[in-house]
Amino acid sequence: MTGVRPRLEDLSIIVSGQGGDGSLTVINILADVLRSVGLRAYTERDVLSRIKGGIVAATLRACREERLGIGSQIDLIVAFDVAAIRKESHRLNDRSIVIYDNSGGALADDSGVPEGARVIGIPFSRHAVRAFSRDIYKNSISSAVVGRLIGLSDQTCVGIREALQQARGPGLEIQPRRARGRP
């Protein structure tokens, strides 16, 4: 999965949501893609107990120079659950971009997003269910959005989708409704 080298120097991304949303998979695949275009990529994950449940977060730092840690400030957060924004709000700043799944409604005023941060609501879940009949595909949609924001080529974004498909395994292929004979 190679493509046009993104014009990045240092980028920190969090993808977060409930367990099973695909946050960890998205970050791991993005890290592989960014490594393939010459960046150094470091990842970490915050996975809560499967029994207790809760918010899962995966963090990626991609940069040209070697860094010895993830960093405390986040440039971009993709939140499949609005509770993820509250949990990570201490890492956001006025230059952060917050992309959240607004399938359940608008972001509350007390969400913890700092003044000046750019907030973008995208109905990931609603679109995944309408287009593909499965909520799990919202991570594929989010990967395309992130790829576009950071300047990856179309070819590279398609490669990300294919890598996500392989991670899901057989039986969970992305098939638009029309391809399955549904309206």
User: Of 138, 130, 106, nearest to 119 (Cα)?
Assistant: 106
Residue 66 CA, distance from chain mean position: 23
| The pLDDT of residue 6 | 44
Q: Which residues of 115-154 are buried (b: 16+ CB within 10 A; e: fewer)?
A: eebeeeebebbeebbeebeebbbbbbbbbebbbebbebbe
| The pLDDT of residue 123 | 93
User: Of 92, 130, 85, nearest to 107 (Cα)?
Assistant: 85
CA distances from 134 to 128, 163, 176, 179 (A): 6, 18, 10, 14
Residue 133 DSSP SS3: coil
Question: Position 121: which residue type?
Answer: G
| The pLDDT of residue 79 | 94
| The pLDDT of residue 103 | 92
State the distance between the two ends of the chain, measured CA to CA, in whole angstroms.
33
Give Cβ neighbours of residue 5 (< 8 Å, ≥ 6 apart): 37, 38
Q: Where are the domains of the chain?
A: 10-106+113-168
Fold of 10-106+113-168: Pyruvate-ferredoxin Oxidoreductase; domain 3 (3.40.920)
| The pLDDT of residue 154 | 82
pLDDT per residue rounded down to tens, the chain (183 residues): 445 444 568 899 999 988 888 888 889 888 988 888 888 999 998 887 566 678 889 999 999 888 877 888 899 999 999 999 999 999 999 999 999 999 989 998 889 999 999 999 999 989 888 887 778 778 878 888 888 888 888 888 777 777 767 765 555 455 544 544 444
